[in-house]
Each structure stands twice: as C-alpha cells, then as structure tokens.
C-alpha cells in the first residue's frame, strides 16, 4: 500500500512540475511578446501624447508666429532667450511666452492682480512677475486705479475712468504702481543685466 502511495505522490509531483513548467513557458512567452510589442506601443502612445500637446499656447497662435519670425531672422529660436510679456494674464493658457519658457527661456511678465502674481510664481518660477500697469510717459501719478473683475480677472479689466466698458457688478478697484513706458526698456535692460533679485521684489 505504501508503494502505491509513493507512486501517487511521485505522479502528483510530476504533474505539478509539468504544470509549473507550462506556466513558466506561458509567462515567458507573454514576456517575449510584451518585449517585442512594447516599443511599438510606446511609439504609438508618444504619438498620441504629441498630438495632445498644443502646437500653440497663444490665444491666436501668436507664439508660433513669433517662433517663425525668429527662424526667418536666423536667430536661435530653440535656444534659451529673454522676453518681455506685457499683459501676460496667465502663465500657460493663452500665453505668448510659455512656448519659449518650456525651452528654457525666462523673462519679465507684467500684469495686474495678486492671484496672477501668485500663480505665475508657482508655475513659472524662473520669470519675474511685476504687478503693475504700463502707462504713457505723461501719466501724472505714481499709481493706477484699475477695475479688476472678481477672482482672477478677465478681458474686460480696465483703468478706472477710461474706455467704454462698464465695470461689472463683481468688479473691484485695485491700486497698483504705474510703470512708465519710457522707463520700461531701461528697467528691463537693468533687470536682465543683474538686478533680477530687485525686480522680483515688485
């Protein structure tokens, strides 16, 4: 009786071994197929990712136009550079400079609103965001009162007392420094040349 039990045990072990070996072969075959097809699948996935990345971040493709002009002028558009973005609004959505920021460029962004400044510093820390209004050289005051829509702001934000757009009910006035256009170029040259820390204190 013991011999029969031993034979049964051996047979059971043999069946288990064959089953395990078959499982191993199945797994090995699956891995081989996966290794063979993985590069192709990754290429397809990358192609889809490339399609999802917008060709332009600007509202009307302005960044692509700038990119093309730089190329026509023979300038190294794909190398890091410097930009001045007046009325920057948002660090990515509708941005004319985010395309170049992604390539390693940095610059000065000028717009009005604390929320814009906070978001800009979080999303694009290499840039310097100036919370101020660019005004004509004849502007008489050191500050500007600006009607800013509640929240982040919108395209109807405007200088108080100017324009034909009536302030919306949720709009509120904010007072910001006046940045005269005549001084802007000199300030940018100074900031780009080394006073970056001072500019970031704005």
Question: How far is 80 from 105, CA to CA, in rounded Å?
Answer: 4
Range of the domain at 34: 1-53
- 161 & 74 share domain: yes
Question: How far is 50 from 53, CA to CA, in rounded Å?
Answer: 5
C-alpha neighbours within 13 Å on the C-beta side of residue 6: 3
- 49 & 87 share domain: no
Answer yes or no: are the C-beta atoms of 85 and 126 closer than 8 Å: no
Q: What is the largest CA-CA distance in the chain?
A: 113
Q: Which residue is listed with tokens 């919306």? A: 168
- 70 & 116 share domain: yes
Q: What is the pLDDT of residue 157?
A: 59
Q: Where are the alpha helices (DSSP H) in 73-129?
A: 98-101, 114-123
Total number of domains constituting the chain:
2
- 40 & 92 share domain: no
Answer yes or no: are the C-beta atoms of 100 and 78 closer than 8 Å: no
- 129 & 43 share domain: no
- 164 & 67 share domain: yes
Q: Count CB atoms within 10 A of the CB of residue 64.
A: 16
Q: What is the pLDDT of residue 13?
A: 45
Blockwise average pLDDT, block size 10, the chain, 202 residues: 49 52 64 58 51 75 90 83 90 92 92 89 92 89 81 60 54 82 72 51 46
- 74 & 128 share domain: yes
Q: What is the pLDDT of residue 147?
A: 77
Question: How far is 193 from 201, CA to CA, in rounded Å?
Answer: 16
């Amino acid at each position: 009786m013991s011999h029969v039990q031993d034979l049964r045990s051996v047979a059971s072990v043999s069946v288990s071994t064959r089953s395990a070996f078959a499982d191993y072969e199945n797994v090995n075959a699956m891995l081989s197929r996966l290794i063979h097809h993985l590069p192709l699948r990754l290429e397809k996935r990358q192609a889809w990712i490339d399609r999802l990345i917008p060709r332009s971040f600007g509202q009307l493709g302005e960044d692509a136009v700038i990119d093309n002009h730089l190329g026509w002028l023979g300038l190294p558009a794909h190398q890091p550079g410097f930009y001045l973005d007046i009325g920057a609004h948002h660090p990515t959505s509708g941005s004319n400079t985010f395309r170049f920021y992604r390539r390693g460029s940095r610059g000065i962004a000028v717009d009005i609103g604390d929320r814009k400044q906070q978001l800009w510093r979080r999303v694009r820390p290499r840039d310097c965001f100036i919370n101020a209004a660019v005004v004509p050289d004849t502007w008489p005051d050191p500050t500007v009162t600006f009607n800013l829509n509640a929240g982040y702001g919108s395209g109807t934000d405007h200088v108080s007392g100017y324009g034909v757009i009536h302030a919306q009910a949720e709009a509120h006035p904010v007072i910001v420094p006046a940045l005269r256009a005549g001084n802007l170029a000199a300030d940018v040259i100074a900031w780009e040349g080394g006073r970056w820390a001072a500019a970031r204190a704005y």
